[in-house]
Structure 1
Amino acid sequence: MRVPQCIKLPDLGKWLVMITILMVLGTACGSQLPTRLPTAPAILLTRPPTPMVMNEKRSTEVAEVPTATQTPKPTPVVMPDPDFYLELAPGIPVKMGEAAKELSRMAPQLFSWTQGQVVNGSIVKLSMNEGTPLAQWTYVIAAPFATVTDDVSLEGVMAGWQTGSNGLGNLVLDQETMDTFSSIWGSPSTNIQIVESNELVDALWKGRPSWTIIPFDQLSPELKVLRLNGSSPLARDFDTTSYPLNVVIGVTGDADGIAQLQSNWTGPRSNRDPLKLTRVAMSGVTALGRATAYQMEIGGITNPGVIVAPVMQAADIAHVSHEVSFAPDCPYPNPIGDPIFCARDSYLALIESIGTDVVELTGNHVNDWGSHNLEHTIDLYETAGMKIFGGGRNIAQANEPALFEHNGNKVAFVGCNPVGPAFAWAAENSAGSRPCDYQAFYEQIRELREQGYLVMTTLQYNEYYHYQATPQQQADFKALVEAGATAVSGSQGHHAQGFDFYNGSFIHYGLGNLFFDQMDMLGTRQSFIDTYVIYDSRLISVELFTSLIENYCCPRTMSESERAQLLQTVFQASGW
């Protein structure tokens, strides 16, 4: 073996050292080796970028490393103990409970909510029928609208509470009302059906015959309010002091706390505030001509209105649809004359005597005696302080609604005549009834609803001498509801017709004659006055007054059996 010339050692020790070095540094003169061992593929490492030097002058100072610190916690605010603790007795209405909780949130220094908790302090409690009076809650007895019975006694109500049913049928309640009267009357029968409050109306209709106890402000038109011991909370002269279902919500506990609660209370004081209540009476056909006028001449001008006047006068807004114009030259009436009508000016006294506030002019006969006499008629109405709708001195006035605002409730009346005759319709420069441009009519109803009005809508429709509405009549009336009508009333109806509920609105297809001489059919003698009860800008109920025309002119109150027969007939014609 040849020793590489690059290393020379003089003796053996150095030779051995040389061999060792060669084993370690064999590659130092690699070109002298005959072969080369295979190597692994090279891994190229990229050198990290050199940090940018922001300042060429090197600092000799040692950087101070910040020490970790905790965010200081806010100092807890210690609330002083409230002056009083507030709680509810069982059965307190939900609205009252919500108002009490809101008071504790708004005035925590005065009241703390403590329902079900043990506290060491003065307690103030809302209680049923005890303590210092804070509010009154009125309840009503109600049944499905298609119920013939009008009255119930307190004894009958208590019998239903104790057994689950009475002569009205099965008792159906929501849980809140059940709790309220359980706290007053004690535990009821287990046979009472309990449903969710939003399912109550449907449950009552599906379970007919049936009835319920319901807070006044939760009424809906689909329910009929029954008089209790002869008294109805729908009446204008309703006396809360003698009504059995008027519940007092009182305050018990610490005397100072009661005084503070009374002075700071912003919740409801009642669920029946008379200053939020409006009653609107809608009547059927009036035509002061022919035999009706003759009877007025011989029996007294205001005689036909004696029976119905109290019903109309009990309304805040009373409606009459008079199809006949007054004329200064109207002759003495012929009781068997042709159906071309006029009314003597003196007959206005009848319309005034019953308390009329608004007159509908959609009638087919308003121009029988000439459009100039309709202008004269409008002058008489306006001088008497009555509003008009559904007709006018020209088409512009005929298209205008009659608007009312009473106790915060906005009520609009609109109506039109789709059947004519053509000479009865208003034109640009002549008086008459409003023809039905349905698209414009629908749009007007929508706009009035958007403005917050409850829209009472009438149609002077085709006349039918039967109780059941025709399919086309139903479709046309429901189209008005779809446009936004609160109620639709058939002004054409010489013959009484049935009812409907559609999309939450009330429809009466024909009310019958109020003052007219059609004595040849029972259905043309039977008549309705519908009183719409509005509370806090919502239609909550419809009362039905029924009468029977006598002597060609004069409606009288029906007997109990006559009323029951009419109601059963029209309910059946309504599909109920």
Structure 2
Amino acid sequence: MQILLFKQKIKRNFSFLFAGIFLLSACQPALWGTPPPPPTPILPTATFTLPPPTLTSTFTPLPPTFTPMPVVIDQTLLWASPAVPAQLREMLLQNGFQISELKQASVNHFVDVVQPVDNSRNTSIWTYALVAPFPTLVDDVTSQDLRSAWSASSSAPFAGIPLLMEESTLMTFSALWGEPADGAVQIVSADELLDTAWNQMPAWAIIPFESIEPKWKVLMIDGQSPIQKGFDPRVYPLIATYQLTCADPCSDPKDLSFQNRNPNKLATVILTGVTALVRATAATMDAKGILYPGEAIREILLEADITHINNEVPFYSHCPSPDANQETLVFCSAPRYIQLLTDIGTDVMELSGDHFADYGQDAMFETIDIYKENKIPYYGGGLNIDEGSKPLLLEVNGNKLMFIGCNYKEGYSTATDTVPGSVPCNFEYMTEQIAAYRAQGYLPISTFQYHEYEIAEATSQQQIDFRVMADAGAVVVSGSQAHVPQVMEFYADAFIHYGLGNLFFDQVSKTGRSPKQNEFIDRHIFYDGRYLGVELVTAFLEDYARPRFMTPAERDKFLLEYFTKSGWDFLQAGQ
């Protein structure tokens, strides 16, 4: 909408006086009585006649009167401080303004960073993020450490490492915090910030929220992160206020206030690994309560807009009582165990698992009925191959999401035109669906029930197969099958995680720690139709059933191992 600001222009009429000078002649009476008689003429002997004088008129022009030109205020012309971020400038342009680089006299509108103003019109609130390259161990810094780094007096992990930022960001926080100490800040153009940070690891940076992308890791400040659902901007230090003011009174009735972060446009999706409520896991649930396995991680799963569970095992009314020492690999779960999955807020069920058909068609039909009764949509399997192959389409806070999955292994995908089960991987069909829905604005998430390996590294064939989905347009490609967590990579604008490990399963070592007890819970962030990236939540499986969050020391060791194996062998902050 173009802003039309009307201002009455003052018209001045100037009149010019033209004076006409007339020479007037007339007979007038004498002032001193009757005049004497004329004298007697004497005739001259010679006559000499003087020529009449030549009269030359002279005209001296008057100097011109100076008429000042009035300053015409252009109501569409706006001066934006160099501190104003690029997206806010773009929003002002879209609202009909022309941005002037100079504070010239004809400019009526001005926008600049100001100290926070409550309940004020024409005020834009801008959220910034503290970020580091994705394979960074540091998760959280204090606001005191951040301000100390600004003054080059910090002893935190990033001590002595300059904060990277573009020039507008520097000018913004210089206005709010004062000028930084020498060497505390390194100015980098916006299009080079990410590469500069990765090349200079360890590194950190301050960027506008709209510049977040998957290769950045968003660091919390005092436990607050703008990509998390519980974010509280009132206690977050990286908030800037920009205000639009006018030389003449602003006459536009519309409030020109903007923001770069709207919580109603944010969506979070949690992807998990293997769930199998059988053997010792089921026995522990019977002994300690059905909800016991999820108690430690329940809140983070509930908080997500979409929590994905890959339950590989059918629910079956005739399932035998759990046996912690069961040797056969034919599994089922008692229907009452669905309480665990509903208690943790399951929103999407993946049915591509190897064991879905272990107890035949009756068990699969009963399982699907249970999911329908609990309003849990599913994909990767179903009542038949047509239903199971279809993508699952969801929309959360304006973000259109697509889930598609399959079972890669021969002999485990039992779905046919008439028989339920997991569906086989049809790469031609899946890539066509991914490309078609991506073109419609969906953000595809592709998951696999792939081969299981006892190593963290992805095999060459696994890389080829997962990358096919990324090439088709998937923004996330995730392995649901792994018991041992696997490595990750950024490829073709996608995040690929080859295996997340177990979620609820009894693969706990009786002697020492097993790699199968380490777990990734991947929290993916979407905003306004864009994929922003992933937060790696790390957990440790214990008591044959119950994952808990890793301690800081456990987490650092686990992440460092997997970052290194993923090819990100960088020096870490504080090392």
TM tier, shorter chain?
Answer: 0.7 to 0.9
Distance 2:437 2:108 in 1: 52
Query: Counterpart in 1 of 2:194?
Result: 201
Cα deviation digits, residues 207-250 of structure 1 (max 9, x gap)? 10001011112101111111101111112121111111111222
Identity over aligned residues, as a percent? 38
Residue aligned with 1:448, SS: helix
Distance 1:573 1:113 in 2: 49
Tell me whether 380-389 or 517-526 shows the greater mean CA deviation. 517-526
Offset, 1:130:
5.2
Offset, 1:120:
6.8
Which residue of 89, 92, 100 maps to 1:100? Answer: 92
Offset, 1:522:
2.2
Aligned amino acid, residue 115 of structure 2? N
Offset, 1:389:
0.3
Distance 2:94 2:430 in 1: 45
* Corresponding position: 1:349 with 2:349: no
Query: Counterpart in 2 of 1:377?
Result: 367
Cα deviation digits, residues 305-361 of structure 1 (max 9, x gap)? 111211111111110000000001011100111221001000000000000010001
Q: How does 1:529-544 map to 2 (within 5 A)?
A: 529-544=521-536
Query: Counterpart in 2 of 1:418?
Result: 408
Structure 2 vs 1, CA of residues 264 and 242 (structure 1 numbering), >3 Å: closer, same or farther? closer
Structure 2 vs 1, CA of residues 79 and 462 (structure 1 numbering), >3 Å: closer, same or farther? same
Structure 2 vs 1, CA of residues 541 and 164 (structure 1 numbering), >3 Å: closer, same or farther? farther
Residue aligned with 2:318, SS: coil
Distance 2:76 2:371 in 1: 61
Offset, 1:458:
0.5
Query: Counterpart in 2 of 1:558?
Result: 550
Aligned amino acid, residue 247 of structure 1? A
Query: Counterpart in 2 of 1:401?
Result: 391
Aligned amino acid, residue 102 of structure 2? G
Residue aligned with 1:163, SS: coil
- The answer to whether the 8 A contact 2:71-2:106 is kept is no
Which residue of 556, 564, 570 maps to 2:562? Answer: 570
Aligned amino acid, residue 263 of structure 1? K
Distance 1:558 1:157 in 2: 26
Residue aligned with 1:517, SS: coil
The structure with the larger Rg is: 1
Residue aligned with 1:127, SS: strand
Query: Counterpart in 2 of 1:239?
Result: 232
Aligned amino acid, residue 128 of structure 1? V
Offset, 1:159:
3.0
* Corresponding position: 1:251 with 2:256: no
Query: Counterpart in 2 of 1:146?
Result: 135
Query: Counterpart in 2 of 1:224?
Result: 217
Distance 1:164 1:329 in 2: 67
Query: Counterpart in 2 of 1:16?
Result: none
- The answer to whether the 8 A contact 1:362-1:390 is kept is yes
Structure 2 vs 1, CA of residues 230 and 255 (structure 1 numbering), >3 Å: closer, same or farther? farther
Which residue of 270, 277, 288 maps to 1:288? Answer: 277
* Corresponding position: 1:263 with 2:271: no
Cα deviation digits, residues 438-485 of structure 1 (max 9, x gap)? 122211211121121111110111101122222222222112101111
* Corresponding position: 1:476 with 2:456: no
Tell me whether 196-205 or 245-254 shows the greater mean CA deviation. 245-254
Give the unaligned 5+ runs of structure 2: 1-69, 569-575
Offset, 1:122:
5.8
Distance 1:505 1:121 in 2: 45
Query: Counterpart in 1 of 2:291?
Result: 302
The alignment yields a C-alpha RMSD, in angstroms, of 2.2
Q: How does 1:72-83 map to 2 (within 5 A)?
A: 81-82=73-74
Query: Counterpart in 2 of 1:323?
Result: 312
Structure 2 vs 1, CA of residues 172 and 430 (structure 1 numbering), >3 Å: closer, same or farther? same
Distance 2:515 2:454 in 1: 7
Distance 1:304 1:113 in 2: 58
Structure 2 vs 1, CA of residues 342 and 255 (structure 1 numbering), >3 Å: closer, same or farther? farther
Query: Counterpart in 2 of 1:367?
Result: 357
Give the unaligned 5+ runs of structure 1: 1-77, 106-111
- The answer to whether the 8 A contact 1:515-1:554 is kept is yes
Structure 2 vs 1, CA of residues 121 and 275 (structure 1 numbering), >3 Å: closer, same or farther? closer
Cα deviation digits, residues 124-171 of structure 1 (max 9, x gap)? 544332553511111111111101111001222223333398623442
- The answer to whether the 8 A contact 1:411-1:456 is kept is yes
Structure 2 vs 1, CA of residues 437 and 104 (structure 1 numbering), >3 Å: closer, same or farther? closer
Distance 1:440 1:304 in 2: 37
Offset, 1:175:
2.4
Structure 2 vs 1, CA of residues 120 and 321 (structure 1 numbering), >3 Å: closer, same or farther? closer
Distance 1:311 1:98 in 2: 36
Query: Counterpart in 1 of 2:62?
Result: none
* Corresponding position: 1:119 with 2:105: yes
Structure 2 vs 1, CA of residues 221 and 332 (structure 1 numbering), >3 Å: closer, same or farther? same
Distance 2:492 2:341 in 1: 34
- The answer to whether the 8 A contact 2:414-2:421 is kept is yes
Offset, 1:275:
1.5
Structure 2 vs 1, CA of residues 164 and 496 (structure 1 numbering), >3 Å: closer, same or farther? farther
Cα deviation digits, residues 359-385 of structure 1 (max 9, x gap)? 001100000111221121011101101
